[in-house]
Structure 1
Amino acid sequence: MVARSKKGAARDSVAIPSPPGYTAIPIKFSEKQQASHYLYVKEHRVREGTQSAWPEKCTLFVLNVPPYCTEECLSRLLSPCGPIKSVELQEKPDLTESPKEPESKFFQAKRVPGFQVAYVVFQKPSGVAAALNLKGPLLVSTGSHPVKSGVHKWISDYKDAVPDPEALREEVDTFMEAYDRKIAEEESKAKEEEGVPDEEGWVTVTRRGRRPVLPRTEAASLRVLEREKRKRARKELLNFYAWQHRETKMEHLAQLRKKFEEDKQRIELMRAQRKFRPY
């Protein structure tokens, strides 16, 4: 038993391979699991002069987050390090390092299940330092905080995918109010700037000076439909088949014969109506 414990201690003392600049934190799904999964963490930093959506020195960047680990679960695992403000999971890191607009929980692209990255914001910088020194393994699913998996997780995800009509209506109303407010501000700003010369003496001309377009009447709509019908008739393929060629030629010959007979009758009539007859 003593030799066994020494082997276990020697195995635990072996350095866990991790990417440069990251610290590995072992986690397990439950107590029954033998192998450990590793989270790779480091302090989130950005280049000087750039803005970030997360505060400096208080944000922990986490790699290799498994699909079964939710934001609530990750917050519970790191809560011993200090109070946490927010946890956000993403499919890949943000490369723009700029503030983002809040996403809607109803109108967003469907996430592909897989390993993710996370941004954990602590209230104090000491929380990041404590997380970098955190030892494991940490249990994801416990008796007091079970994590759903398999069929139970699929059922839960399906129920969460069905939106609440009342919550959806409130979000749409809020978005439309913000949109109408933005359009009104843009229109008022354009009215103020219209006709005012800039620094170089140029005047901005907009379409606001045009007369309002009158609504189309029923007669005008019928004329437009008739015009479109004639355009489509001109675009139709004529004489596409051989029988169409034969019929067209026969109709043309019939029209020529008819016109010839009409001309003969007209000439006879003109001759009969002549009054001056020299012979």
Structure 2
Amino acid sequence: MAPSKEGPTFAAPAGYTAIPVKFSEEQKVHHYLYAKEQQVRGELDKTHPKNRTLFIINIPAYVTKKGLSEVFSFCGHVESVVLLDKTGSSVKKHVEGYSFNQRAIKGFRTAYMVFKDASGIKKFRSKEVWTSFVISKRDAFVKAGIHKWIEDYEKSLLNVAALQAEIDQYMQEYDDKVETREDKAKEKEGMPDEDGWITVTRKGRHPGVARTEALNLRLAEREKKKRAQKELLNFYAWQHRNKKKEHLAELRKKFEEDKQKIALMRAQRKFRPY
């Protein structure tokens, strides 16, 4: 990253320092990065260590991690640079690989830059006048415009063999996790915990013979028929009301028949309730 002639002074937001950059030597207009020392809220933060981290905003798309490292290289050795798509966004863990990590960050970005030691922050504070840095040079050309679009398009074309290899690796790791989880569950099955409770699975204490596929199909078909009968029974509200009326009518009819039987037995002197 080669410094060019001093850029014009520019007012930065409160607490930030303005660093002028240019895409190329031919460009006359400067772009400004704004940086400040990152104030860590917690006492211990391994990702953003205190007195060694810079927080940078207003980063254009053509500035890469390597470019940022070169801009601030005079301050000291840069240990790591983390680019984010917006302020305060967390660093999400993606599946590493050619096919699964294709999300491109668009628009202006922010970054956390960590120096190897605290002297990098001290040199950053002592810097009063910043010179303009050129991002794209002949020996380190940065693709932009149509060249960048072509590069992104070529990266979007998946390699079928590489994709299949990553899928196989992911599924193998998943199967290993499932197998380990099942082994741990089998070891704990039937064993009392700290409070003396025994975990009973859906198989019960005596699982017996495992169900065959044919048996599972018959049980599923039987359950399906039961559900169909329940759904057809009293499907409409008026059917439910009619059924209640018919039931009440049958009860009244039976009550009248019982009254007639009792009256006949009384007439024949055969009715003896006691």
Alignment equivalent of 1:48, drawn from 42, 51, 67: 42
Q: Which residue of 2 aligns with 1:266?
A: none
* Residue 199 of structure 1 pairs with residue 197 of structure 2: no
Q: How far off is 1:32 after superposition?
A: 1.9
When residues 88 and 48 of structure 1 are mapped into structure 2, their CA distance, relative to the original with a 3 A threshold, is closer
Contact 1:195 1:205 in 2 (8 A): yes
Identity %: 37
Asked if 2 retains the 8 angstrom alpha-carbon contact of 1:46 and 1:52, the reply is: no
Corresponding position of 1:259 = none
Establish whether residue 32 from structure 1 lines up as the match of residue 32 from structure 2.
no
Is the CA contact (8 Å cut-off) linking 1:53 and 1:100 kept in structure 2? no
- Tell me the TM-score normalized by structure 2: 0.64
Alignment of 1:103-142 (within 5 A): 103-105=95-97, 106-108=99-101, 110-111=103-104, 113-132=106-125, 133=127, 135-142=130-137
Q: Is the 8 A contact 1:84 1:120 kept in 2?
A: yes
Q: State the SS of the aligned residue for 1:143.
A: coil
Question: Aligned residue for 1:157?
Answer: 152
| RMSD, matched Cα | 3.8
Q: CA deviation at 1:57?
A: 3.3
In 1, distance between residues paired with 2:173 and 2:45?
25
CA–CA separation in structure 1 for the residues paired with 2:189 and 2:216: 36
Q: Helix, strand or coil for the counterpart of 2:12?
A: coil
Q: Supply the distance in 1 between the matched residues of 2:157 and 2:49 (Cα, whole angstroms).
A: 34
Determine the C-alpha separation between the residues in 1 that align with 2:171 and 2:165.
10
TM-score, reference length from structure 1: 0.63
How big is each residue's C-alpha offset from its partner over 1:84-121, in whole Å with a ceiling of 9 and x where there is no partner? 3332221124456xx85354353257345200111223
Query: Does 2:211 align with 1:213?
Result: yes
Partner of 2:77: 83
Asked if structure 1 preserves the Cα contact closer than 8 Å seen for 2:17 and 2:34, the reply is: yes
Greater relative CO (CA pairs within 8 A, separation 6+): 2
Runs of 4+ displaced beyond 6 Å: none
Matched ranges for 1:174-193 at <5 A: 174-193=169-188
CA contact (8 A) 1:86 1:122 kept: yes
Q: Letter of the 1:104 partner, please give it.
A: E
**1:202 offset after TM fit, Å?**
2.7
Read off the aligned partner of 2:16 and give its amino acid letter.
Answer: Y
Q: Shift of residue 72 of structure 1?
A: 2.9
Unaligned runs of 5+ in 2: 234-274
Indicate how the Cα distance of structure 1 residues 206 and 168 shifts in structure 2: closer, same or farther if over 3 A, else same.
same
**Structure (1 or 2) with the greater helix fraction:** 1
Contact (CA 8 Å) 2:40, 2:48: kept in 1 or not?
Answer: no
Partner SS for 2:82: strand
2:56 — aligned with what?
Answer: 62
CA distance in 1, matches of 2:107, 2:201: 50
Unaligned runs of 5+ in 1: 1-7, 236-279
> Which residue does the alignment assign to 2:143?
148
